[in-house]
Structure 1
Amino acid sequence: MKRSIGLFILVLITAVVLIVGWLYYQDRIDNAGGAASGSGQQNGGSDDSSRGGGSESGINAEGLNAGLQNQLEEAEQSGEPLRLVVAGSDAVTSEGDNSFPQQLADRIEENWDGISTEVETITYDDSTSLEVLNDGGPEEMAGAGADLFIFVPFAVSDNGTVSSDDTIYATREITEAVQENDSAYYISAPQPWYEAQYYLEQLDAVEGYADEAGVTYLNHWSAWPAVDDEELTDYVGEDTPVPTEQGHTAWTDGIWQHWTENGS
């Protein structure tokens, strides 16, 4: 009897030791997993900081276009002005200091403390894409030393004069020239045109090219009245679509939305 009791006690002690050992082992595994998770979160925090979302930078990267974000961070670190260059027809500057390039620069300064801007516009009157190409336009644009470069294709001048294929050819040559530099490069849709027809086909072709080339296409038309809405003539001329100040503000609004709300 005493022998049976002693055997029972031995088995019980063995079981308790095994259970305690197992619990200790599980606790070590759980703690190791928690440390690994904590390390991952710290790494994630470092990644966020490098994107402008952490405490090391005053730039909020949530929804921010990557090209703009990188250039903002570089300007913040260097203390140098952020250089915005916009190239296109005279429509780009039709309202002087109230045109969309300057409005964009003003918004950048208003939204990011410590960031100053410098704006340059390169315009080519009413030249077609092929005329700009033959007159050394790509080389001039590439030499502008931009941090942010926005190219506005010459679709208005090309309309009815230059084929969509030639518009794309010139756009490709300009894009490849400018992209050789360390700048954030964008293709912006030109201004809308009231009751336009062939013009829309040209722009569809440009947008298709941008998509294939992996270039961010800034289609800002959602900020304007529709092309079949007569209200659009308050934003651009009816016969020649030169933007008014109201049009330039819509242009700014549309690009700003792309840059700050879509991450694209």
Structure 2
Amino acid sequence: MKYSFYMYFPSIKEWLLLDIREATGGNFMKKVMYSIIIALSIASIIFGNYYYKFKINETAEAAKMELSKTKSVSNESSSIKEITKKEEINVTKNLPDSIVSKIQAKHDQQKPVEFVILGSEVNALQEGTWTSLFQKELTNHYGSDAFNLTVITTKETSDIVLEDQLYKEALTLKPDLVLIEPFLLNDNGNYVMEDTLIYVEKIINDFERLESKPVIMLQPTNPIYQPKYYAEQVSMLKDYADNKGFIYLDHWPSWPDVNSNELNNYIESNNPNQKGYKLWAEFFKNYFIAE
């Protein structure tokens, strides 16, 4: 069946099929004008309907594109968080799980890790010392708010440190990590190592009773040239840490051999010089910061 325009608008056909004689009259032009107006009106309605549908489709497509863009931004944000998490895991990959757990817990709480270093004066937090160099590395790799480093040092022997509780300030901080250098050179010549370890263990017990349950780490003092009994003290400290299950950070292998003259390039008057402090800090950087 064929369809034509006149099937829907028969009146127009009637107006157009005029008698030839009537066409010469004045009504002819009126009929033509009416027909044109009606045709234009119909065309306007059809075009308006088409344009309306077109705009609806256009709006819908724009909405889809905006939604897609939003999802893309959301996915990008998730990717950034995931990358950040992976980077953090890579930085701590050399650390034992006990330390990583402390760092992650404080990160989740948006609080700094309370890190206490306790020992003799060679650990003082001063310009150029190993602790100051190490602190800069922590800041550079973890951020300025990741660690709150507190260093407590003394020239006293371990018995005085215990009796006078010279580490009391550290206890009030409720630390997450505690690194102790057990005053070996301070005690050397004053106490046998067995006594030193008794004092040190009592100090450690005070930290272990804290609610924060800090991870305890031990380290030796710096090496000295051709040590005698001091070398035995260091060996006994390592055995003590292993037996008690404490983390022992043995930086001695990073130094030149204690019987080599080369060690004197890093030590002056039994204390580290600038090169010695840099070497000491490098050891801790490599332990706490994986690159």
Shift of 1:202: 0.9
Aligned equivalent of 1:22: none
- Partner of 2:88, secondary structure, is coil
Distance 2:198 2:247 in 1: 18
Are 2:246 and 1:246 equivalent residues in the alignment?
no
Aligned equivalent of 2:232: 201
- Partner of 1:199, secondary structure, is helix
Name which of 151, 155, 162 aligns with 1:133: 162
Are 2:171 and 1:149 equivalent residues in the alignment?
no
Distance 1:114 1:159 in 2: 37
Distance 1:159 1:179 in 2: 26
Distance 2:128 2:174 in 1: 23
Distance 1:114 1:76 in 2: 12
Query: Is 2:162–2:199's contact at 8 Å kept on the other side of the alignment?
Result: yes
Shift of 1:250: 1.5
Distance 2:97 2:119 in 1: 23
Inter-CA distance 128–74: structure 2 relative to 1 (3 Å threshold): same
Inter-CA distance 163–145: structure 2 relative to 1 (3 Å threshold): same
Distance 2:204 2:99 in 1: 17
Query: Is 2:134–2:281's contact at 8 Å kept on the other side of the alignment?
Result: yes
Inter-CA distance 57–152: structure 2 relative to 1 (3 Å threshold): same
Aligned equivalent of 2:128: 98
Distance 1:152 1:195 in 2: 20
Give unmatched runs, 5+ long, in structure 1.
1-52
Are 2:144 and 1:111 equivalent residues in the alignment?
no
- Partner of 1:191, secondary structure, is coil
Name which of 111, 118, 122 aligns with 2:152: 122
Inter-CA distance 100–146: structure 2 relative to 1 (3 Å threshold): farther
- Partner of 2:131, secondary structure, is helix
Larger Rg: 1 or 2? 2
Range 182-191 or range 193-202, more displaced:
182-191
Are 2:100 and 1:69 equivalent residues in the alignment?
yes
- Partner of 1:211, secondary structure, is helix
Inter-CA distance 84–196: structure 2 relative to 1 (3 Å threshold): same
Query: Is 1:168–1:205's contact at 8 Å kept on the other side of the alignment?
Result: no
Are 2:222 and 1:186 equivalent residues in the alignment?
no
Shift of 1:189: 1.3
Aligned equivalent of 1:170: 199
Q: Percent identity over the alignment? A: 22
Query: Is 2:114–2:173's contact at 8 Å kept on the other side of the alignment?
Result: no
Report the AA paired with residue 158 of structure 1: D
Distance 2:168 2:278 in 1: 30
TM-score by length of 1: 0.69
Give unmatched runs, 5+ long, in structure 2.
1-81
Name which of 211, 232, 242 aligns with 1:211: 242
Name which of 266, 283, 286 aligns with 1:235: 266
